[in-house]
Amino acid sequence: MIKAIDLHRSYSIGKKSVEVLHGVDLQIMRGEKTFLCGPSGAGKTTLMYTLAGLETPQGGCVEIDGVDIYSLSATKRSLFRNKMMGFIFQNYLLMPELTALENACLAASIGKKVDRKRVLELMDRVGLNHRLNHLPGELSGGEQQRVAIARALANDAPIIFADEPTGNLDRKNGMEVLDLLFGLADEDRKTLVIVTHDEHIAQRGDRIITISDGSVA
């Protein structure tokens, strides 16, 4: 479903260019739970963002269901991303002035009418049907991440990218969030790509891809 071919990604720091990805090749199959692991600074988050069409590589290509996403215009790539992908972030990235329900509707509202019934069902499935009208500041970290999971699934995209989704949670809440994410992904046959530095968590996936110094180790 996801194929990366000879990916190169660099950043400019002053007059210096620092290459973060060095010719990465990988494939992720439909329905697979894949963890991108490695030490801090290894390039795993950059790799995830590049696979997701959020950071343009200097070389190589990314194909999703046979579509070379970087051959698309920025507008078409954005529409493709909204249709094909959902995102979960370590810091939740909820809008503080919106309720839990409104936050869960955000991604699904881009360019189309929100399927409110689906979002309400998802909020029930993540155990937050009693917290729909609470603001993020009134929710615990675990509850905020549950809202983020509902938001990621609201547009029924086949791929979910998650960047350290348990990083700001304690072990108990982290495992509960991961259990929830895995359960929902299995029910809806989603492909998961998860960045983590925690190899204990990564052991629960179908496959671990270890990134070291910008390459697949």
The reported pLDDT for the residue numbered 70 is: 96
Does the residue 22 lie in any domain?
Answer: no
The tens digit of pLDDT for each residue in 47-101 reads 999 999 999 999 999 999 999 999 999 999 999 998 999 999 989 999 999 999 9
The yes-or-no verdict on residue 4 having pLDDT over 80 is: yes
The reported pLDDT for the residue numbered 49 is: 95
CB 103 within 8 A of CB 95: yes
What is the reported pTM? 0.92
Residues paired with residue 194 on neighbouring β-strands, in sequence order: 35, 162
The reported pLDDT for the residue numbered 63 is: 97
The reported pLDDT for the residue numbered 112 is: 66
Q: State whether residue 212 is helix, strand or coil.
A: strand
CA distances in angstroms from 169 to 28, 47, 150, listed in the order given = 27, 23, 17
CATH of the domain at 197: 3.40.50.300
Spatial neighbors of 195 by CB under 8 A, at least 6 apart, are 35, 36, 44, 45, 48, 162, 163, 164
Where is pLDDT greater, at 160 or 112? Answer: 160
Does the residue 150 lie in any domain?
Answer: yes
Q: What is the 3-state secondary structure (H, E, C) of 7-33?
A: EEEEEEECCEEEEEEEEEEEEECCCCE
The tens digit of pLDDT for each residue in 116-171 reads 899 999 999 999 999 999 999 999 999 999 999 999 999 899 999 999 999 888 88
Count up the domains in the chain and report the number: 1
Does the residue 7 lie in any domain?
Answer: no
The yes-or-no verdict on residue 105 having pLDDT over 80 is: yes
Does the residue 23 lie in any domain?
Answer: no
Does the residue 65 lie in any domain?
Answer: no
Q: State the residue range of the domain holding 106.
A: 32-55+70-216
Does the residue 132 lie in any domain?
Answer: yes
110-131 b/e with 16+ CB inside 10 Å = b? eeeebbeebbbebbebbebeeb
